[in-house]
Structure 1
């Protein structure tokens, strides 16, 4: 069987090869939970909203906004990148990275997919065409662009003078922050069938910690590109190929020398940063990034349950199950609340102490896929149609 990338029902569609069976028997029908009834304790409001091109449409994409020094940066899949004022959403600059094909022809889309990340005077974004762009934050002009080993599906990560890219074919590459030159490449290995998405690395103490499609977490020294250790946190088991998916597509979180990592079919695992040894693990899985704060881990699992667990042993503190199969975004902590978006364009506000709903709002009809971010006291989230919202409490 050839190498394949799979996008599960929570990630839009499935790519198959003839003669390769993924399911045994009839395909199960998963029904979205009805919208829960919530008595709002407050009313969130939209400070501003701006269209950023055509969004991502029906495609899976990790495009999401980022912000720095009073400016928000956002992009669409076609190639439009915009810089906007954090305070009112007014445009600072706009560039188009699509390829010019001729005077009477439409431009070829850039297929932007990984990012955005801002650091050191540059905005970084990757594409499905295996290109990584560095744009100057001052005017959006291209400082450099580099062709990498495969689709740039993860968000670029900048640390110690390098830009880290985890490509769709399982390569972790380090690009020179100033020139874009490839400094080293590490092959993280991957099975024949994987989820469409890659873990963005976390960095600490001169090392990159990254999840792989083979169910392992790997530590790599940033300067020489040397692998320090690997630890398996998910074992491929089960009767079908779907059951045997073991991708670690989430970004590891490092707190006080402990790595918290999460695989699709389990597990949520705490690892020692120095040795990679497992401290504890729980049978929980997801492709959504986790939040670690004040001794708690907040996560959305693969069935869209929202959970809070203790960092000491992973003990479940509460579970919110009223949003099952609503295709939630990763959670974010904002203004003392845990917030998630869903595929129908609702934002759900949850009390982080007990998991109870405190507010709910309909924001966008096209729905949400990627997680919100917090900037300048606002909650920023981009809808599938490209509309970027700044929400305040």
Structure 2
């Protein structure tokens, strides 16, 4: 599916028409109101349409033969989502059967504030972990003990306010940073010295994706900008459809071989040729039917994943798809929404849904293997203190997710049985990352926590 179907004006007219129709319906209903006393039905009210969306395990042919790869140790986690294709499979953690324990924690600067969330995921390269706080300070820490190696302030001198957005990537000893303003930077990983600075056409919203000597950045106006990784020169741009969003940040593009796959706030996803930005194919992840106001948030916040020549993508509004990277044809589509990145491991896909569920799917068919319903609130009875779940990641044949309440859960990847849970004693801001046999968490307080 390609082309720009809806313009802002047509969407506005459509909305006004719907509101007018709703007003007429309400007026008509009032004419037939009964004089009988109103009957109050006690109990929670649950939308029947929402019930239709609940996921259940499905019968899958040859389920017992679904492949789960052995654990492998990745020394680096160099970009948002791991590697540029965002497919990390089954990683190795320092302990096989033992419980992980915290080995150090370190401060990276200012954490989440009332106005600004901590949104830049850290990256790991050559025994260093690089992170950015909410005041545009980039810090390099030792992965051995958390000791600070260097720290640099990238907030422009003429800017008074801090902003959210942007992120960090590292490749070939160079740290690439977008800070949420109109600049992109290249820094030396060794000492933080600036190599180049590039002016962007609009504020950056994604961390850079770096591959084949190019850095790809999505800006606030839904534009993909391709920079030379060596000089910062803009090589080409692609303009997507811009749409208002209620989610923080933007998914970093996925890239593999000769294509880059950006996802925009409109719910559109494209495969563009790395060389010149020409369109190979496009799709749209807006839901076919909208059940609630939440479905209107069609943005793709979870990172697209490229695995075995298939693109896996999910929108918050309730659409998850698998697309052939060469033809652009959908292999399957499901009415599943979420804002976290799907995790691909062999024949399995693990994903957190916007309905607070951890789901395992068949990579080939999209069928549901297992589902675990997660608590959406710390105070379930009064529905107070919502829990935001982050992840998943997979290591040592275990699926890890972590809640904003600090709870870490570990699951059996085949059965969905919860193996254990433990308390990080911190409010967690971002999904876990794993590198060098160590699991790293980013706390809302502005700390990096290392576990092994």
TM-score, normalised to structure 1, is: 0.83
**Range with bigger deviation, 222-231 or 291-300:** 222-231
Q: Does 1:317 align with 2:369?
A: yes
Correspondent of 2:412 among 351, 355, 368: 351
Count matched residues: 354
Q: Does 1:378 align with 2:378?
A: no
Name 1:96's counterpart in structure 2.
153
- Structure 1 counterpart SS, 2:168: strand
Question: Partners of 2:337 and 2:291 in 1: how far apart?
Answer: 18
Q: Does 1:334 align with 2:395?
A: yes
Contact 1:51 1:387 survives alignment (8 Å): yes
Task: Give how far 1:304 is off.
Answer: 1.9
**Range with bigger deviation, 192-201 or 327-336:** 192-201
Task: Give how far 1:261 is off.
Answer: 0.9
Contact 2:120 2:133 survives alignment (8 Å): yes
Question: Partners of 2:376 and 2:106 in 1: how far apart?
Answer: 30
Q: 1:132 to 1:184 in 2, by over 3 A?
A: same
**Range with bigger deviation, 53-62 or 277-286:** 53-62
Provide structure 1 residue ranges, at least 5 long, that are not aligned to the other structure.
4-20, 31-40, 102-106
Name 1:55's counterpart in structure 2.
111
Q: Does 1:247 align with 2:299?
A: yes
Task: Give how far 1:193 is off.
Answer: 4.8
Contact 1:115 1:125 survives alignment (8 Å): yes
Name 1:146's counterpart in structure 2.
198
Question: Partners of 2:244 and 2:392 in 1: how far apart?
Answer: 30
Compare CA radii of gyration and give the structure with the larger one: 2
Name 2:83's counterpart in structure 1.
none
Contact 2:342 2:352 survives alignment (8 Å): yes
Name 2:125's counterpart in structure 1.
68
Higher helix proportion: 2
- Structure 1 counterpart SS, 2:210: strand
Question: Partners of 2:300 and 2:164 in 1: how far apart?
Answer: 22
Question: Partners of 1:283 and 1:238 in 2: how far apart?
Answer: 10
Question: Which digits, 9 at most, give the CA deviation of each residue in 1:78-128, with x for residues without a partner?
Answer: 122111111221222222223457xxxxx9465463222111221122122
Task: Give how far 1:252 is off.
Answer: 1.4
- Structure 2 counterpart SS, 1:243: helix
**Range with bigger deviation, 311-320 or 245-254:** 245-254
Q: 1:95 to 1:193 in 2, by over 3 A?
A: closer
Name 2:134's counterpart in structure 1.
77
Question: Which digits, 9 at most, give the CA deviation of each residue in 1:169-204, with x for residues without a partner?
Answer: 100100110111111110111235553332211112
Q: 1:141 to 1:160 in 2, by over 3 A?
A: same
CA RMSD of aligned residues (A): 2.6
- Structure 2 counterpart SS, 1:359: strand
Q: 1:99 to 1:213 in 2, by over 3 A?
A: closer
Task: Give how far 1:233 is off.
Answer: 2.8
Contact 1:80 1:96 survives alignment (8 Å): yes
Question: Partners of 1:29 and 1:348 in 2: how far apart?
Answer: 30
Question: Which digits, 9 at most, give the CA deviation of each residue in 1:246-265, with x for residues without a partner?
Answer: 22222211111111111111
Name 1:231's counterpart in structure 2.
283
Question: Partners of 1:99 and 1:149 in 2: how far apart?
Answer: 16
**Range with bigger deviation, 327-336 or 241-250:** 241-250
Contact 1:237 1:244 survives alignment (8 Å): no
Q: 1:206 to 1:69 in 2, by over 3 A?
A: same
Contact 1:334 1:379 survives alignment (8 Å): no
**Range with bigger deviation, 107-116 or 197-206:** 107-116
Name 2:171's counterpart in structure 1.
119
**Range with bigger deviation, 133-142 or 189-198:** 189-198
Higher strand proportion: 1
Task: Give how far 1:159 is off.
Answer: 1.1
Contact 2:209 2:216 survives alignment (8 Å): yes
**Range with bigger deviation, 251-260 or 92-101:** 92-101
Q: 1:109 to 1:191 in 2, by over 3 A?
A: closer
Name 1:44's counterpart in structure 2.
100
Contact 2:430 2:442 survives alignment (8 Å): yes
Name 1:12's counterpart in structure 2.
none
Question: Which digits, 9 at most, give the CA deviation of each residue in 1:212-238, with x for residues without a partner?
Answer: 222222011112121221112324753
TM-score, normalised to structure 2, is: 0.73
Question: Partners of 1:114 and 1:370 in 2: how far apart?
Answer: 14
Q: 1:143 to 1:350 in 2, by over 3 A?
A: same
Question: Partners of 1:53 and 1:192 in 2: how far apart?
Answer: 30
**Range with bigger deviation, 145-154 or 326-335:** 145-154
Task: Give how far 1:268 is off.
Answer: 1.2
Task: Give how far 1:49 is off.
Answer: 0.4
